């Protein structure tokens, strides 16, 4: 339904000819805006996560200016506003602890202000889900614009990828194959331009999800941050949101069940991050679309990875864009995508990508000759994970996908740091490393520590992967045979809490099984002895642990699930 003849929401503020209207208009006019901007044209909120403490989004003030150009050109009135920005590499204890808090900031900033449509400026990992989730709770016409990836890292003549290169080189240092001086020298070479991590880590995965869900214009995922075409996209995004308001193209019309199913399949085809599982489950919860962990397994099964990008492969996001970017991938898998979705430009992603070219088959493989087969996120269940755990097969070692080994248990992340380098640690490459108390409540915030570094005594043998199991998450730039998001988590007494050194654990990815070879009677005995860890009693930490849901539900706060719309409880001062 068109909004053309409807009075816009912002007129509830700016359109009043009374004392309230005076206050709403007059204070905004202190910034020099002429009278006609308040005449009933669409007011577009530009939700900005710029922050120098979120370096991946450090160029967003410039990007916002291009959005404003587009909004003015289309006859709208742009008003930019800041929201809490989450810098993945700076925030302690983990940016994920604040995803839901930032989403509340976004939701209330949109709902409480005279806004008809929203542009979401997103980049660094958590800034994308927090903005999508908050905006979904308001359900206004909304369009996403990602900040774009950094240029490829270059170190001593070779490409080095964000995160992936760090994990790789730090293991080389620990294994005595690289000096600390060389490692430090690579710092300014890895990250040499504006933008987000240029591997297919969580930021690039989530930017791809924004495009695959239909929440942005085509090509949003991969245009490098410093490429002038990113600014052009920003300007076109500004133009488009004005029309979306006129068409009343709200988020819930884009974020349908079919759109989520498309995004899950695209995630498999790009070898995307396991973090997308949690963020999309949470987003679906906000917009009222039923989506479960089992959907991820079902829809990802038989999906191949077509994209040869780190951490699963070799290349980086700059190469991906020059090869054709996400539209080229969508075109390749269009046969398994729903064609009846609507994206931000009013067409389906399948229609948008129908003629998308591919310029480099090394980077984006054809559907018939995939880069890696069976690459969808696998969901494991068993007595160790009754509600599920996930693994990313495309980043794992094929020989370890079926493996039974002796558990080497770390009670929490401090215990892990204290003992992993100990030459006396009783461990070899056949063991299974188990890390407890790093889930949503346990850490708290579910940190990205699931890809535990291997013990030096194993690395020194030239071994680079072992089976690792935890209730934590893993950086999207990481790799390895790493079982994550084990649910229920150890801190609430999930079976993970009961694992002891020497227990045998069976991982069977093809059979989707994660089994602890300990009898039910013995587990019951251990449960009686289990003592719950202490929980924080103050501030946000307290509110968070009291209300956060488990990983298999998306780790949203229980009272934020379900869209509540854009109506304001009280309309005047």
By the criterion CB under 6 A, which residues form the site for ligand FES?
56, 88-89, 124-125, 162, 196-197, 201, 203
Q: How far is the CB of 54 from ligand FES (least distance, A)?
A: 7
Tokens, residue 415: 């215990």
Q: In 10 A of CB 414, how many CB atoms?
A: 10
> Whose CA is closest to 337, among 303, 295, 292?
303
Q: How far is the CB of 86 from ligand FES (least distance, A)?
A: 9
Q: How far is the CB of 289 from ligand FES (least distance, A)?
A: 26
Place of tokens 């001086």: 181
Residue-wise DSSP of 281-343: HHHHHHHT----HHHHHHHHTTPPB-B-BTTTSSB-HHHHHHHTHHHHHHHHTGGGS-S----
Tokens, residue 283: 């987003």
Q: How far is the CB of 262 from ligand FES (least distance, A)?
A: 23
Identity of the residue, 203 or 326, whose beta carbon is nearer to ligand FES in the bound complex: 203
Tokens, residue 378: 């696998």
Q: How far is the CB of 167 from ligand FES (least distance, A)?
A: 13
Specify which residues 482 forms β-bridges with: 468
Q: How far is the CB of 197 from ligand FES (least distance, A)?
A: 3
Tokens, residue 296: 């991820």
Contacts of 171 (CB under 8 A, 6+ apart): 453, 454, 459, 464
DSSP, collapsed to helix, strand or coil, labels residue 193 as: coil
Identity of the residue, 56 or 71, whose beta carbon is nearer to ligand FES in the bound complex: 56
Q: What share of the chain is helix, strand, coil (3-state, %, to 5)?
A: 40, 15, 45
Identity of the residue, 110 or 150, whose beta carbon is nearer to ligand FES in the bound complex: 150
DSSP code at position 258? H
Which residues in 8-37 are b (16+ Cβ under 10 Å) and which e? bbbbbbbbbeeeebeebbeebeeeeeeeeb
Identity of the residue, 203 or 244, whose beta carbon is nearer to ligand FES in the bound complex: 203
Identity of the residue, 203 or 566, whose beta carbon is nearer to ligand FES in the bound complex: 203
CA angle 522, 525, 526 (to 5 degrees): 90
Identity of the residue, 56 or 215, whose beta carbon is nearer to ligand FES in the bound complex: 56
Q: How far is the CB of 261 from ligand FES (least distance, A)?
A: 26
Q: How far is the CB of 275 from ligand FES (least distance, A)?
A: 11
Residue-wise DSSP of 497-563: GG--TT-EEEEETTTTEEEE-S-HHHHHHHHHH--PPP---SHHHHHHHHHBPPGGGTS-BGGG-S-
Structural contact between residues 86 and 100, judged by C-beta atoms closer than 8 angstroms:
no
Identity of the residue, 56 or 553, whose beta carbon is nearer to ligand FES in the bound complex: 56
DSSP, collapsed to helix, strand or coil, labels residue 483 as: strand
Place of tokens 């905006």: 135
In this structure, the dihedral spanned by the alpha carbons of residues 182, 183, 188 and 193, taken in order and rounded to 10 degrees, is 120
Q: How far is the CB of 201 from ligand FES (least distance, A)?
A: 6
Identity of the residue, 94 or 549, whose beta carbon is nearer to ligand FES in the bound complex: 94
CB-count exposure of residue 463 (10 Å: 0-12, 13-18, 19+): middle
Q: How far is the CB of 23 from ligand FES (least distance, A)?
A: 39
> Whose CA is closest to 259, among 329, 355, 339?
339
Q: How far is the CB of 89 from ligand FES (least distance, A)?
A: 5
Identity of the residue, 142 or 205, whose beta carbon is nearer to ligand FES in the bound complex: 205
Identity of the residue, 89 or 464, whose beta carbon is nearer to ligand FES in the bound complex: 89
CA distance linking residue 131 with residue 126, whole number of Å: 8
Identity of the residue, 141 or 161, whose beta carbon is nearer to ligand FES in the bound complex: 161
Structural contact between residues 297 and 377, judged by C-beta atoms closer than 8 angstroms:
yes
Q: How far is the CB of 55 from ligand FES (least distance, A)?
A: 7
Identity of the residue, 78 or 272, whose beta carbon is nearer to ligand FES in the bound complex: 272
Identity of the residue, 147 or 238, whose beta carbon is nearer to ligand FES in the bound complex: 147
Q: How far is the CB of 56 from ligand FES (least distance, A)?
A: 3
> Whose CA is closest to 307, among 321, 290, 296, 294?
321
């Amino acid at each position: 339904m068109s909004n053309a003849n409807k009075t816009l929401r912002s007129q509830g503020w700016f359109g009043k000819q009374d004392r309230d209207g005076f206050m709403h208009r007059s204070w905004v006019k202190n910034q020099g805006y002429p009278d006609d901007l308040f005449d009933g044209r669409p007011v577009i909120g530009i939700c900005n996560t710029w922050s120098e403490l979120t370096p991946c989004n450090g160029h967003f003030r410039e990007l916002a200016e291009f959005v404003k150009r587009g909004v003015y050109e289309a006859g709208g009135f742009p008003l930019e506003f800041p929201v809490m920005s989450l810098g993945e590499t700076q925030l302690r204890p983990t940016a994920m602890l604040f995803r839901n808090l930032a989403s509340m900031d976004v939701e209330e900033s949109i709902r409480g202000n005279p806004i008809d449509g929203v542009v979401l400026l997103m980049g660094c990992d958590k800034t994308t889900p927090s903005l999508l989730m908050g905006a979904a709770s308001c359900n206004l016409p909304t369009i996403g614009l990602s900040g774009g990836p950094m240029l490829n890292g270059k170190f001593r003549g070779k490409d080095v990828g964000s995160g992936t290169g760090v994990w790789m080189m730090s293991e080389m240092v620990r294994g005595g194959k690289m000096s600390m001086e060389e490692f430090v020298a690579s710092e300014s070479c890895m990250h040499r331009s504006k933008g987000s991590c240029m591997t297919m880590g969580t930021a690039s995965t989530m930017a791809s999800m924004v495009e695959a869900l239909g929440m942005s214009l085509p090509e949003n995922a991969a245009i490098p941050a410093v490429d002038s075409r990113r600014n052009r996209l920003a300007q076109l995004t500004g133009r488009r949101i004005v029309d979306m308001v006129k068409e009343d193209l709200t988020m819930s019309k884009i974020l349908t069940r079919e759109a989520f199913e498309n995004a899950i399949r695209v995630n498999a085809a790009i070898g995307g991050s396991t973090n997308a599982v949690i963020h999309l489950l949470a987003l679906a919860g906000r917009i009222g679309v039923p989506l479960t962990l089992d959907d991820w397994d079902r829809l990802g099964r038989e999906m191949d990875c077509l994209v040869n990008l780190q951490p699963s492969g070799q290349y980086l996001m700059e190469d991906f864009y020059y090869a054709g970017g996400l539209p080229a991938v969508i075109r390749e898998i269009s046969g398994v995508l729903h064609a009846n979705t609507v994206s931000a430009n009013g067409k389906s992603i399948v229609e948008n990508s129908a003629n998308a070219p591919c310029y480099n088959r090394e980077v984006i493989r054809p559907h018939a000759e995939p880069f890696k087969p069976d690459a969808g996120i696998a969901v494991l269940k068993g007595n160790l994970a009754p509600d599920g755990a996930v693994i990313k097969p495309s980043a794992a070692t094929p020989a370890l996908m079926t493996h039974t080994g002796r558990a080497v248990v770390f009670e929490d992340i401090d215990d892990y740091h204290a003992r992993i380098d100990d030459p006396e640690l009783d461990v070899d490459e056949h063991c299974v490393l188990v890390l407890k108390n790093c889930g949503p409540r346990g850490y708290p915030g579910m940190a990205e520590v699931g890809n535990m570094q291997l013990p030096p005594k194993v690395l020194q043998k030239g071994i680079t992967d072992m089976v690792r199991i935890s209730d934590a998450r893993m950086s999207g730039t990481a790799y390895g045979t790493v079982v994550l998001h084990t649910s229920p988590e150890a801190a609430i007494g999930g079976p993970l809490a009961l694992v002891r050194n020497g227990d045998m654990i069976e991982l069977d990815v093809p059979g989707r099984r994660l089994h602890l070879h300990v009898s039910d009677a013995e587990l019951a005995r251990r449960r009686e002895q289990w003592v719950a860890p202490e929980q924080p009693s103050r501030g946000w930490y307290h509110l968070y642990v009291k209300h956060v849901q488990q990983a298999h539900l998306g780790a949203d706060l229980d009272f934020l699930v379900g869209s509540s719309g854009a109506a304001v409880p009280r309309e005047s001062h």
